[in-house]
Amino acid sequence: MTETSTASGAAGTLPRQKTDSTAWLLITPGVIWMTLFLVAPILMILYVSFWTQTTFAINPTPTLESWRDFFTSQTYMNALWTTVRIWLIVLAATLLVGYPAALFIGIFVRSRILSISLLIVCVIPFWTSFLIRVLAWRPMLGREGAINILLQKFGITSAPIDALLFSELSVVIGMTQIYVVFMVGPIAFMLSRIDRNVIEAARDLGAGFGRIFTRIILPLSLPGVVVGAIFVSVMVLGEFATSAALSGRQVNLLGNIIVTQVGSLKWAFASVVGVVLTVIIGIVIAMLLRVVDLKREL
Amino acid sequence: MSVSQETETRSGADSVLRLDGIVKRYDDVVALDGVTLTVSGNEYVSLLGPSGSGKTSLLRVIAGFERPEAGRVHFRGADVTDVSPHQRGIGFVFQNFALFPHMSVLKNVTYGLVNADEGAVSAEVAERRARAMLEMVGLSGLESRGVDQISGGQKQRVALARTLVKEPQLVLLDEPLGALDANLRARMRNELRTIRKELGVTFLHVTGSESEALAMGDRVAVLDRGRVLQFGAPGTVYDAPSTPNVARFLNRYNLFAGSLHPDGGFEGPFGKVAAPRVQPADEALYGIRYDRVTVEPENTAADAPALHATFRASEYLGSSVIYFFETDAGKIVESEHHMSLGTPPEYRAGARYTLRWKPEHAIVFG
């Protein structure tokens, strides 16, 4: 009797121990990878940002000089505000362009196959490299570019518009085109999960499209908006290539500063900018996650 | 008794809904093939049909979610065929309830009152009316719950309250009890009837269950392949199915194939018997209700109609017992014994018996 009960007791705990050890085994490669290549580098950046930088060398004597430089320099503060401004504009633009597209794909297209095909169409630009997608805007927006030629041909403008390329506008246009798909995807996914009967029920209860949109569709798609906004924000805040290629060095983002500083071996200063950027992105994600409880919604 | 005749006698000024030759196709599939139906005010109509008979399509056409290819929908004397669903004022209770998942019970019920394009009321009025309606369907105290925190039966009531609070004259219910367990279904049957009577509105209740259709409806419409086969009181439909398919859907008739002779006799597996009640149909079929079949010890006394069969099994249903017999041709014949008639007899499995009935109880199609 005692024997059997011990045996059953052991049998009861064994599977549990096994699942525990299996769980640890499963997570180990990920933990090692993230520790070596994400956590350690970030801590290293934070550490290096307090090192002493001289023109040609860097040594680990702790100092706040790089930090002081960053926050007292007009150029760098301007870059900070430009980054925030471009981020907000691109976020709004991707939402403005992306939400209606997602609404069309997720709600108005009735065929599942067609809506998936349309999502794939959105991804087609990604079949070429990032740099080509960015550079492709030059022949579009340039002084002699496609848009200016068309505008003049149809007599809408008499002279080419110079502001199209190498300006903040061209950076916003380029970024919106590149990142809008990250907004469309999550929103279309959430919208396609809305039970059609729920929308029909709202119609049957006398609500027109406006009320159905604001009270039913929009709230139910909010998690998709938040996920899309996180994707776009993270990528835009860390951007440097689009502004480098399309702004003609007129738009300096924090990302561009990091590239320049690293290029001139100013590691400590580049680290300061990196830490500032990481903190900003962290704050943005935290704020966006406050909008909806993703754990509950997904 | 043809469908159109009965419809005409009812289509007075009190008709709430009048369907006139509704045709609905999905690509090549004809879902509704000329449905004509008139429903009066303050009545409970059940719409019985097997899956694929077009019953849900019909409700969706009436509500306005689907546009018919032909035919007109009249509601309260006006042609509403081209009116958008949100302007029709016809209530719809969905099979899966279709509650607004991000709102509380109370918000679900007030939604239609506050957000209607026409006749919206203030938030205070809406809340008062919603609370009264929730009390009526027995949900007081659950107002602030999320709709994912309540049971299936409670969701059903929220869906009902959300529709009824708008005070529609006609409520369409799409298999409203389908998602509930048997216990709850029986209780909701009674409640639906009580609530409807109290409010004096018309319910059009779609179901695939013949017992539900007969039990709930003041009148029952039987739908098959996009057509209304019969529309009448449950007793009439039950006693005198107008077509072979109605008899099939009722699931209460033993049906035998055979041939109808010009002299009025029917030739079936039981030989040639008299057929006093003949319904014109394009299929020769002999039907005898389960509870009209009596069981005797096997005997050859030639008192037609009779069938010799082997007893296979019985099923206890509470108020009655169903006995299953197998004829020599391998056909299952059922006999029902009502408990009110006394203790149910017991038969020996594998033993042979003679099944007998009165010719005047049979319904013959041909």
For residue A207, the chain B residues in CB contact (below 8 A) are: 86, 111-112, 115-117
Is the same domain home to B125 and B215? yes
Which residue type does A64 have? L
Q: Which domain holds residue B335?
A: 252-365
pLDDT of residue B264: 78
Is the same domain home to B266 and B322? yes
User: What does residue B285 show for φ and ψ, rounded to 5 degrees?
Assistant: -145, 140
Is the same domain home to B168 and B274? no
For residue A204, the chain B residues in CB contact (below 8 A) are: 63, 65, 85-86, 90-92, 163
- Domain for residue A54, yes or no? no
Give the pLDDT band (50/70/90) at residue B6. very low
CATH number for the domain spanning B316: value is 2.40.50.140
pLDDT of residue B10: 44
- Domain for residue A62, yes or no? no
The angle at the Cα of B15, spanning B12 to B21, to the nearest 5 degrees, equals 95
Is the same domain home to B220 and B257? no
A254-263 and A267-291 are packed helices; what angle lies between their axes, rounded to 10 degrees?
160
Which of B92, B100, B120 minimises the CB distance to A204? B92
Q: What percent of chain B has pLDDT over 90?
A: 63
Range name among A182-191, B226-235, B256-265 with the lowest pLDDT average: B256-265
For residue B85, the chain A residues in CB contact (below 8 A) are: 200, 203-204
Tokens at B191, concatenated: 């409640």
In angstroms, the Cα distances linking B107 to A215, B63, B97, B129 are 11, 23, 15, 12
- Domain for residue A86, yes or no? yes
- Domain for residue A10, yes or no? no
Is the same domain home to B282 and B154? no
Q: Which residue has the tokens 């056409």?
A: B61
Q: How many CB pairs under 8 A join A and B?
A: 74
Mean model confidence pLDDT for chain B: 89
For residue A216, the chain B residues in CB contact (below 8 A) are: 100
Is the same domain home to B237 and B282? no
Tokens at A78, concatenated: 């301007």
Q: Which residues of B touch A (CB under 8 A)?
A: 63, 65, 84-87, 89-92, 94, 96, 98-102, 111-112, 115-120, 162-163, 166
Residue of B100, B103, B165 to mutate when probing chain A, most A C-beta within 10 A: B100
Is the pLDDT confidence value at A10 over 70?
A: no
User: How many domains does the structure of chain A reveal?
Assistant: 1
Which of A206, A215, A220 minimises the CB distance to B117? A206
Distance from CA of B47 to the nearest CA of A (A): 20
**What pLDDT digit, counting tens, does each position of A23-64 carry?**
899 999 999 999 999 999 999 999 999 999 887 788 888 999
Is the same domain home to B61 and B199? yes
Give the pLDDT band (50/70/90) at residue B334. very high
Q: Do B86 and A206 touch (CB under 8 A)?
A: yes
**What pLDDT digit, counting tens, does each position of A113-149 carry?**
999 999 898 888 888 888 888 888 888 888 888 888 9
CB B90 within 8 A of CB B73: no
* Residue B272 Cα to chain centre, angstroms: 34
Last residue of a domain, one of B244, B277, B309: B244
Last residue of a domain, one of B244, B264, B290: B244
- Domain for residue A51, yes or no? no
Q: Which of B65, B147, B148 is nearest to B109 (CA)?
A: B147
CATH number for the domain spanning B126: value is 3.40.50.300
* CA dist., res. A245 & res. A132, Å (int): 10
Is the pLDDT confidence value at B13 over 70?
A: no
Pairing label, strands B219-224, B44-48: parallel
Is the same domain home to B70 and B119? yes
- Domain for residue A16, yes or no? no
pLDDT of residue B8: 40
Is the model more confident about A81 or about A18?
Answer: A81
Is the pLDDT confidence value at B5 over 60?
A: no
User: How many domains does the structure of chain B reveal?
Assistant: 2
HEC letters along A56-125: CCEECCCCCHHHHHHHHCHHHHHHHHHHHHHHHHHHHHHHHHHHHHHHHHHHHCCCHHHHHHHHHHHHHH
Is the pLDDT confidence value at B133 over 80?
A: yes
Is the same domain home to B195 and B126? yes
- Domain for residue A247, yes or no? yes
* CA dist., res. A174 & res. A240, Å (int): 12
* CA dist., res. B179 & res. B160, Å (int): 14
For residue B83, the chain A residues in CB contact (below 8 A) are: none
Which of B65, B96, B166 minimises the CB distance to A205? B166
Q: Kindly report the number of other CB atoms within 10 A of residue A68's CB atom.
A: 11
pLDDT of residue A254: 93
**What pLDDT digit, counting tens, does each position of B46-66 carry?**
999 988 889 999 999 999 999
Say what the ipTM of the complex is. 0.82
Distance from CA of B27 to the nearest CA of A (A): 14
CATH number for the domain spanning A188: value is 1.10.3720.10
Instruction: Classify residue B207 as left (phi > 0), alpha (psi -120 to 50) or beta.
Output: beta
* CA dist., res. A12 & res. B108, Å (int): 46
pLDDT of residue B302: 57
Give the pLDDT band (50/70/90) at residue B28. confident
Which of B65, B96, B116 minimises the CB distance to A207? B116
Which of B90, B111, B118 minimises the CB distance to A202? B111
**What pLDDT digit, counting tens, does each position of B296-325 carry?**
888 866 576 888 899 999 999 888 899 999
pLDDT of residue A1: 38
Is the pLDDT confidence value at B33 over 90?
A: yes
Average pLDDT estimate for A219-226: 95
Is the pLDDT confidence value at B16 over 80?
A: yes
Is the same domain home to B300 and B208? no
**What pLDDT digit, counting tens, does each position of A250-291 carry?**
888 999 999 999 998 889 999 999 999 999 999 999 999 998
User: What does residue B320 show for φ and ψ, rounded to 5 degrees?
Assistant: -155, 170
Last residue of a domain, one of B215, B244, B273: B244
Is the pLDDT confidence value at B262 over 90?
A: no
* CA dist., res. A181 & res. A239, Å (int): 16
Is the same domain home to B138 and B216? yes
Using alpha carbons only, how large is chain A's radius of gyration in Å? 26
- Peptide bond preceding A160 in cis form (omega within 30 of 0): no
Is the same domain home to B272 and B240? no
Q: Which domain holds residue A248?
A: 74-297
